[in-house]
Chain A
Amino acid sequence: MIATESLSKRFPRVTALDRLSVDIGPGVTGLVGANGAGKSTLIKILLGLSPATEGSARVLGLDIATEGAAIRERVGYMPEHDCLPPDVSATEFVVHMARMSGLPPTAARERTADTLRHVGLYEERYRPIGGYSTGMKQRVKLAQALVHDPKLVFLDEPTNGLDPVGRDEMLGLIRRVHADFGISVLVTSHLLGELERTCDHVVVIDGGKLLRSSSTTDFTQTTTTLAIEVTDSDTHPDGTRAVREALLGRGVEIHHEGAGLPGAGHILLLTAAGEQTYDLVRDVVADLGLGLVRMEQRRHHISEVFTNGTGDSDEQRKEAVGHGG
């Protein structure tokens, strides 16, 4: 789908991309990096809108330097920022964008109705966009990127500004874009955790350099960390410790007790080896007669991958990154 060869982009004062070589295949690929890591710059270059300082890249087998127009006909782009005029309805707007992609008028209308329905906008699509919630606006932005049935879409921070539920819905939608619509996806985020759940493959860049490119199964096997919190009871005045000992006895790897996290001392971080770990935690807690307050996958902020001394799991990640890069 995408192949770059020592792609560099230098601005007078900053180097946005530094000899980046990466191969991205079909499927959902996450592009992770802190703010300013060069994610948006990479997308602009891949769309053929901004020339690379050196190096080359091909998108869908087309050269970005010479076949930009042909690339833009076959890919969709959802920008990070707001890009919707408030005084037109979603239908009118998306129809117009479909025609801008070259779809004949009738096809543009049909594809618009189709696409808006698929992203989950129904009756409200006839109302002016100005009155939409952030979640609905994100759906319209996604719809305009999909309306011309591209082979590949670039989604720049699609979950930005969404609440947790909206985030999950958007991630589910992104999954469907590939699974049901057959469109490959390159999605950027600064949250590694949410991409782990959505993507087949994750590319991590930092400072314009490739840090790691690997399939998410590799990633999650070594890194899924569970945070659990339990209640105390009369028989076990310190529930956390009781669970900790019980779990250690069953061979579960437990990290130090979540220092630095809110509620430190009451939170256990443990490595989930797979589905069975979840069951094990449930059984252990139930056997001890304690209440399980929460059990969640810890969302890793990308910066944790690179910063020192925040915990064992992060040490492991750094190592992994070192090997992968």
Chain B
Amino acid sequence: MAVEQPLTSPPGETTRIHDIGYRGYDGPRLGRAYARRSLYSQSLRGAYGLGRSVKSKALPMLLFAVMCVPAAIMVAVAVATKAHELPVAYTRYAIMLQAVISLYVASQAPQAVSRDLRFKTVPLYFSRPIETADYVRAKFAALASAIFILTAAPLLVMYVGALLSKLGFAHQTKEFAEGLVSVALLSLLFAGIGLVIAAVTPRRGFGIAAVIAVLVITYGAVSTLQAIAEVQGHSGAIPWIGLFSPVTLIDGVQSAFLGATARNPGGVAPSTAEGIVYVLVTLALIAGSYGLLLRRYKKVGL
């Protein structure tokens, strides 16, 4: 639908712009599913500052680099020393760098939803074919994908490095796959928690602080309690305490089922039964945050 048609004009004459008036649109209208996909890709790009100002690219890109550099160094060390195993297991990597991930969620979850609430853009979405559930799903999926990219990229670096230094292919592939499952769960969980908190705090600053508080402080508190339990000889309580922070929750799931070594004080891995509780709590939290988001946006409406 060319509107301003520069005509190829005889030499010497400058190009002219012709106003040909208003033109209607008879092309396809791709409906809800397409709008949802567009919102997803726009939000995913936005989570790395793409299509936004240079300033908003700085933090996500920096955190992405911070996530990948240690992996690259490890690979370099492993290659140089001709080690038979990578210095850090795939499943342990995300737990080791949980502070970076938390920071990323804290900065990007408010970006994903608080802006629309604060600048009251939400009504513009809901006056179009998409509905509350479409909006929530697109935002949830976008943030979860963004966190997955953040956490899976270093694992990929490690995996490629491990294969290049000719560590056992089957063994590495299995551990890499387990690592991916673990970070996928982590991405969904963190995205859910981050979005719920951000969606009830339209002020971006509060949102960032609240997300950090929930992710980091609970981890600190749980680790401290676990350490106390260990010192006092109640190691049986350690896995149960671990249910109360997102990071230790993922750690419990992967040390029960994904061959990871538990990172809690004393290195107590949950038993299979406890592991099932971990998985259930994780899934309940993910589903719960989705439900809460739906409720929140039902209310916001127009």
| A101-124 CB contacts (< 8 Å) to partner B | 101-104, 107, 110-111, 113-114, 117-118
- Which of these, A50, A69, A86, A149, contacts B25 with CB under 8 Å? A149
Cα A84 to Cα B29 with chains together (Å): 24
Cα A189 to Cα B41 with chains together (Å): 37
CB of B127 within 8 A of CB of A49, answer yes
Cα A92 to Cα B38 with chains together (Å): 13
List residues of chain B with CB within 8 A of the CB of A299: none
Interface pick from A73-81, A197-205, A220-228: A73-81
- Which of these, A73, A79, A92, A148, contacts B123 with CB under 8 Å? A79
Contact flag A73-B129 (CB < 8 Å), given A50-B301, A180-B22: yes
Closest Cβ of chain B to A281, distance in Å, is 38
List residues of chain A with CB within 8 A of the CB of B115: 85
B interface footprint on A258-301 (CB within 8 Å = 1, 0 otherwise): 00000000000000000000000000000000000000000000
| B30-67 CB contacts (< 8 Å) to partner A | 30-32, 34-35, 38-39, 42, 51-53, 56
List residues of chain B with CB within 8 A of the CB of A180: 21-22
Contact flag A111-B22 (CB < 8 Å), given A72-B129, A117-B3: no
CB of B38 within 8 A of CB of A82, answer no
List residues of chain A with CB within 8 A of the CB of B170: none
- Interface status of B171 (Cβ within 8 A of chain A): no
Cα A88 to Cα B55 with chains together (Å): 12
Cα A180 to Cα B22 with chains together (Å): 7
List residues of chain A with CB within 8 A of the CB of B34: 99, 102, 104
CB of B1 within 8 A of CB of A111, answer yes
- Which of these, B2, B22, B121, contacts A84 with CB under 8 Å? B121
CB of B39 within 8 A of CB of A49, answer no
Q: Which residue of A lies closest to B53 (CB)?
A: A87
Q: Which residue of B lies closest to A111 (CB)?
A: B25
In this complex, the interface size class of chain B, counting residues with CB under 8 Å from chain A, is: 35 or more
- Interface status of B167 (Cβ within 8 A of chain A): no
Q: Which residue of A lies closest to B41 (CB)?
A: A99
- Interface status of A181 (Cβ within 8 A of chain B): yes
CB of A83 within 8 A of CB of B121, answer yes
Cα A96 to Cα B45 with chains together (Å): 13
CB of B32 within 8 A of CB of A103, answer no
CB of B125 within 8 A of CB of A114, answer no
CB of B301 within 8 A of CB of A49, answer yes
- Interface status of A243 (Cβ within 8 A of chain B): no
A-B contact pairs, 26 of them (CB 8 A): A44-B301, A49-B127, A72-B127, A77-B124, A79-B124, A83-B119, A83-B120, A83-B123, A86-B119, A88-B52, A97-B128, A99-B35, A100-B130, A101-B129, A102-B28, A102-B30, A103-B27, A103-B29, A107-B27, A110-B1, A111-B25, A114-B1, A114-B22, A118-B22, A180-B22, A181-B22
Residues of B within 8 A of A (CB): 1-4, 21-25, 27-32, 34-35, 38-39, 42, 51-53, 56, 115-116, 119-121, 123-131, 301-302
What are the 7 closest A-B residue pairs judged by CB atoms, nearest first?
A149-B25, A77-B127, A102-B29, A99-B38, A110-B1, A102-B30, A181-B22
